[in-house]
Structure 1
Amino acid sequence: MKAIVHDSYGPPSVLRLEEVEQPVPGRGEVLVQVHASAVDQGVWHLTAGLPYPIRATPYGLRGHRARVRGTDVAGVVEAVGPEVTRFRPGEEVYGSCEGAFAEYACAREDRLAPKPGNLGFEQAAAVPVSGVTALQALRDSGRLRAGQSVLVIGAAGGVGSFAVQLAKAYGAHVTGVCGTAKVDLVRSLGADRVLDYTREEPTDGQRRYDLVLDIAGNRPLSRLRRVLTPRGTLVIVGGEGGGRWIGGLDRQLRALLLSPFVSQRLRVLASRQHHGDLRLLAELIEAGSVTPAVDRAYPLADAPEAVRHLRQGRVRGKLVIRVREGASGRA
């Protein structure tokens, strides 16, 4: 089968299209004929091997499967391994797995769910990683309740575009932060107020929020706390900067150390994919409460260019990898 692989860490150019052996599903695994995947910051980090500790994880370049990049997956069940009970061949699914930039990929049964019936494969592939991350950040780490005020910093990105819509679905008043070129997108997602960070600083303290969601940011912890209510919650999702050894983890570590000593809740999200959350997202999508924001789709061979585009910071929503032609249409 064709797959996007790499054998060394580096820029997106280390990724290449290659013929590799088709995987075989093991116990509790599902073999998916991949129709589409998507790109997120995690794909870049694994490609670059940055920050350095990521190279020592099971997702680093150790073992045959780790050579193939990609996490989001949408496709059709080709075969199932022993003890799989939820899926049968021919069913349309979406979820996450290792090695999704390929024509076939093996996914754990508990990381898949039936594909939303009103989405094509490309749109569905944009949901799992970013959608589940946004959901868990708001519901679990943020403990969001109806009527609360939410500030989403990074509202036009993959996670942010879902966070704005999910927060509205939960009944919150949402302020989204983005650059000038993305203001219209964030407004179309349902944000009650949109701040252009090139014209006004969202953490200047003029307004306070019950929940602040900081996505892949680098603003100092003190500035983020400044816009929280006295008992508000800050949830940090990822982060950039910090050098090759710790990346953006420095703010996260400081938040965890400081949280027990202040009235505000300072949380760091460690998202985990689960079929229950994928099913919930599918229900919200089918009800019209959430719609994936897809910027553009790239053919599988152009996955390196998609990763490069992501790092340039101009993406509106999600970038999708089209593995099979015809994956864009609605089901």
Structure 2
Amino acid sequence: MRPFDYGRAQSVQEALDRGGPFLAGGTTLIDLMKLDVEQPAQVTDIGPLPLGEIREVDGELHIGALASMTAVAEHPLVVARYAALREALLAGASQQIRNMASMGGNVMQRTRCPYFRDVSFTACNKRTPGSGCGAREGHHRKMAVLGTSDTCIATHASDAAVALVAYDARLTLQGPAGEREVSLQAFYRLPGETPHLEHDLREGELIVALVLPAPVSGSGVYLKVRDRESYEFALSSAAAVVATENGVISAARLALGGVGTVPWRSAEAEALLVGQPATPATFEAAAHAALAGAQPLPQNAFKVPLTRRVIVRALMQAAGQIDPAGNTLGGHPTTQGGQA
């Protein structure tokens, strides 16, 4: 780690005056500084700021950017209303990291692509624009199949962001020009020709809160498939919310992780679900629609059929047709497509 100037802000304005990068839990920034991926001349510690409150305002849930993953996962309103977010948080890290990591930092975490995180690899457009994408010709088993470009196939790492996108979360940002709000889905940028520009955070801005609208009716599920059971990033994941009336889907949300360069909301799948019977055939059609635009490479082509199965199983679970172990409920048969 290289020398840097450290300052501890006591107010939001003091943090803005000093400027970033901003240090909260440190579970991403410090790692990248140790690896020499990030080499800031200064760091502003925002730990003392009063941004950890979780409260309901006019039916919406406001989560302070410094609220820990643990605090959010255990909050009664999250447990009662946003089950997919709770499950994503619990699946996203060890207990120790959840106790330290902030929600603002979680949505800002950067990719785990080894070509980005290891500076001995010179080809990484995300780290050094114009240098190439080492993963395309190298090891790309865990890389993205949705939202990729010729310049970058790095997968977005956050589990929580997938669920937050499914719930239409918004970010409240504070900066030199004042306060503004942006949807989390719109906040993330596809790599295109500029993979080093990952989000819409402007110079000097600070995330101060996340806002969750009142949830749609229905049950929420986060299903994550990974190489090992604990402390591992997703090969494929799905945040699903399904509401039904008399066996017909009245509302549906679907977002994917482990397969996109950003947390991937599938409007195509949602459109196919609403108004259709809650059957395995409907869920399988939605799964195929969600992956229609996938552009896999040889080593990660398995993610396409895997993710279809993940989607079907998540939707069946959210619709109350199977339990988390995959056992059928209410006489609804599972299909091969419903097995993750």
TM-score by length of 1: 0.25
Q: Which has the higher strand share?
A: 1
Looking at both structures, which has the greater relative contact order when contacts are Cα pairs under 8 Å and sequence separation is at least 6? Answer: 1
TM-score by length of 2: 0.24
